[in-house]
Each structure stands twice: as structure tokens, then as C-alpha cells.
Amino acid sequence: MSDTLKKALERVAEARLERREVLRLMGLTAVATAGLPGILQYARAQDELKLASEVVIGKNDLLVVHNDRVGVMETPLELLREHAITPKDILYLRNNQILEPEGRSLEGASLDDWTVELRGLVAFPRVVTGAMLAELPQTEVEMVLQCSGNGRSFFARAVQTRGTQWAHGGMGNVTFRGVMLRDLLASFDPPLNPRPEVTFITAEGADPPPEGTSRPDFEHSVPLEDALNRAMLATAMNGEPLPGAHGGPVRLIIPGYYGTMNVKWLSTLRFETAETNNVNQIPRYRVPRDPIEPGTPIDYTFGNSTPNWRQRVKSVIFEPLNGAELSVGTVTVRGVAWGGDAPITMVQVSADGGATWQAASLETPGSAWAWHHFSADLPLASGEQRIWVRAIDELGNSQPLDGTVRWNPSGYEWNGADYVDVVIA
């Protein structure tokens, strides 16, 4: 464990103890004086969020909780960078709705009695049981799971956007195992072949909308072609039965796609000729097809926008972290890069604001969709320095130096070149 992490852990643990102490004192003071211990009472009103483990049993309390109702939490980089495969207790979480009680636990959810319905424009609708999934050939893939809002807070460099203000921690690198959708379709007799006009599949989960609201149920559509090439019905994560909190027992996994499209608690797949017009497909979870001026409105149509499907090329610096104080000489810059279109072929670092770039050494992972670890030795002069990084994929996709050029009202798909500010002394 690195010294920085140890310090971070100690700091957070201390803060938690202090918080408990404050809460205790507040109780005592209130009783003792029947008056207001002013600042303490105020702190209570502010400090309204539960700890991660109080939202989902087993989650690490060092996670930053954004929403404690259905569960939205992110992983500090100090924790994230410690593991090649992100353990389930620190993996970020973002729910719109939640399946109770499965969604409250990191235990594997039971496949018994679970069914997934396949219907829409197919010759014969089918029902897949958990037992059938367990018997079919299994495929495993290492991949980056990332919320499409990850990095949203950085759009505020131009104009504030709405929603959870994620830093970098709405992502993790995990393995999923399950049955490829194409293998599943081929396993039926006769094989389940979608009609030729089918262009999308729409996935529904078993999680219900909140009671007492008129909220439409959550669902998403993805292009059939990508689904047939990449999608699986996953039943395991990191070599264990898929945790209920992360969509178990069955989750639609499309490697390279943003997290939201990987529908949890999968109950139905519909084969269709168009994207669903569900509010979660439009106007939510979309970005403008062409850039718009930051701070301007856009009325989303299917034509002028695209859903949060394939992840944009992205890189994140794991070392040094922002604010680090380093000694003069060569600084080793480490981190990860990935994308949803194609494997990463190059990562570059810069110490002069992008005027010149230096190639980093790059590890090629077993999967195109996994973290590509990079490392570069960068000579830095003394004083305050900004270290930049950008990645380039096999198709030539890269990252804008100013990520706000892709500003959108909901702050999705941030992929600006990453930087950290350090002090060289």
C-alpha cells in the first residue's frame, strides 16, 4: 500500500470517528442544555448522506456517496489505482432504480427462478431461465465499466452541468463472465434469428420505478450489430456470482459501452426497428451529435443526438495525484487509458500544455476494452507544473485538450485530456 493511500485512509478513518463523536456530542449537548449547539446542529443538517455500507451492505466506507436512496457512489483514485481488477467493495455504483433486496447486497444473487424474456420482431418469443444460462458456453471479458456521467464535474470549467458531480471515480476495471447473446440465440432450435428489419435491442430490468411517482420504467436501446458482436448475459463478475448490487443475477453487458446501457437485473430483451422513446433513452443519456456552445440549450431529437453508447477514448493519471509535492528530477507518470471503439495504441504525456508530447510506454491488455496501463518518465523543472495525458486509439480517435468543447447540458461523456497539478521542489 502506498504512503499516500495510507495517509488518505487514516485521514478518512479519523474523519469518520470525529463525525461519530460530533453526532454523539450533539445529542448530549442538546439534552443537557435543551438549546442549540449552533454549528454542530448545522453540520448535522448539512451532513445528510449515509455511508456507503449503509446504502449497500459490504461497500467500502471510503467511497464518496452521492445519493443514498437508490445508491450512487464513486471510488477515490487513491483506492481505485491500488487494484488491477477493481474489487466489488470499492467498485462505483450508479442506480436509477433499485431491485430490493438484491440491490442492497454484494452477495451473488440467485439464478434460481430468474427468467429473461426474448421477444419483439422474432419468429418465436423465448424465455431463458437461469439454469439454461448456467449450461451454455461461458465467455469472460475484462473491461472498463464507466458511468456516462464520469468526469461531469470538469464541464464546470466552462458552464455548470446538472446531475451527480462525478470526479474520475465513476469507473472501474472488472471481468464479467456469461453467455454471449449470439451464442444464446444460436442455442435455440430453430435458432432465434431477429427479422431482417431489426436494428436495435431494448433491454428492461426487473427493478421497479419508485412507488408514489408516475415515473416510467427504466430501459435502454442499443444497436443490434454491436449487441450481436459484443453483448453477453453476464452472471459473474471478478470470478464470483454477479453481486445483486451490480445487477445480479443477470446483467446485460456490452463491453466498451457506457455503464448505463449495461442494464441490471435483466428481465426482457426486445428486438425492434427503432430506439425506444423512453425518457431514459431520449432526452436523458444523450449528447449532441455536433458540438454546441457551452451553456446553450438543445432540444434532443433522434437525429441531432446520440445515446451514451460506445465510450469515448479516455486516459486518467493515477500517479502522481493532483496536488502532489515532488522532488526535482524525473517524475514517473502512471495511469490507465481505454476506449469503446477500438484498442488504445498510444498514450502521450506533456509538461508544456500540449505544445510537445512524449510517448508513454503502454501495456497491451488481453481485452480491447480493459484498462491499458501506461507509464512515462517526464523530466520536470522546479516550481508548479501541470502534467497532461492523452490517449489515441487504433482508429485515430483521441481526446480534446479542452474537454468542454463537448459540453452538453447533462454533462455526459467527459473525455478531455487529463491533467494533474504538482509542485516540484
Partner 1 sequence: MRRGAAILAVVALLPLWLVFSPTLRVSAQGGAVEGPLPRGPNVDLVYANCQVCHNLRYVTDSAGLPAFLWEDTIGLMVQLGMQVTDEERAKILDYLTTYLGPNPPPQAPAAAEAQGAVETDAQAGGAADDAAPDGEALYTANCASCHQPNGRGVAGVFPPLVDHVPVLYNAEGGRDYLPTLLLYGLQGRIVVLGESYTNVMPAWAQLPDADVAAILNHVLRAWDNEALLPDSYVPYVAEEVGAKRGLELSPQAVIEQRPDTGGQ
Q: Name the DSSP class of 351.
A: S
Shortest distance (Å) from residue 101 CB to partner 1: 13
For the bound state, the minimum distance from the C-beta of residue 373 to partner 1, rounded and expressed in Å, comes to 31
The residue (of 136 and 279) whose beta carbon lies closer to partner 1 is 279
Task: Give CA–CA dist 318/240, Å, rounded.
Answer: 27
Compare residues 197 and 299 and give the one whose CB is closer to partner 1: 299
4 vs 164 by CB, closer to partner 1: 164
Which residue, 66 or 312, is less far from partner 1 as judged by CB?
Answer: 66
Give the nearer residue to partner 1 in terms of CB position, either 112 or 211.
Answer: 211
- Beta carbon of residue 406, minimum distance to partner 1 (angstroms, whole number): 16
Q: Which residue has the cell 454484494?
A: 106
Residue 260's φ and ψ, nearest 5 degrees, are -60, -30
Question: How is the beta sheet containing 325-326 ordered, strand by strand?
Answer: 325-326, 418-424, 383-393, 344-350, 358-359
Least distance in angstroms from the C-beta of 276 to partner 1: 14
Closer to partner 1 by Cβ: residue 3 or 211 = 211
CA distance 346 to 392: 5
**Residue 201's closest CA among 272, 278, 127?**
272
15 phi, psi to nearest 5 deg: -60, -40
Nearest approach, Cβ of residue 149 and partner 1 (Å): 12
Residue with Cβ nearer partner 1 (166 or 271): 166
Q: How far apart are the first and last CA of the chain?
A: 24
Q: C-beta of 29: minimal distance to partner 1 in Å? A: 7
Do the beta carbons of residue 325 and residue 425 sit within 8 Å? yes
| Share of the chain residues as helix, strand and coil, in percent rounded to the nearest 5 | 20, 30, 50
* Shortest distance (Å) from residue 186 CB to partner 1: 38
Shortest approach of partner 1 to residue 213 CB, angstroms?
A: 3
Identify which of residues 43 and 228 has a Cβ nearer to partner 1 in the complex: 43
| Residue burial 280-300, b: 16+ Cβ < 10 Å; e: rest | bbbebbbbbeeebebeeebeb
Which residues lie near partner 1 (CB under 8 A)?
14-15, 18-19, 21-23, 25-27, 29-31, 34, 36, 38-49, 66-69, 156, 159-165, 209-216, 279, 283-284, 295, 297, 409
Give whole-number Cα distances, 402 to 8, 291, 412, 416, in Å. Answer: 30, 13, 15, 6
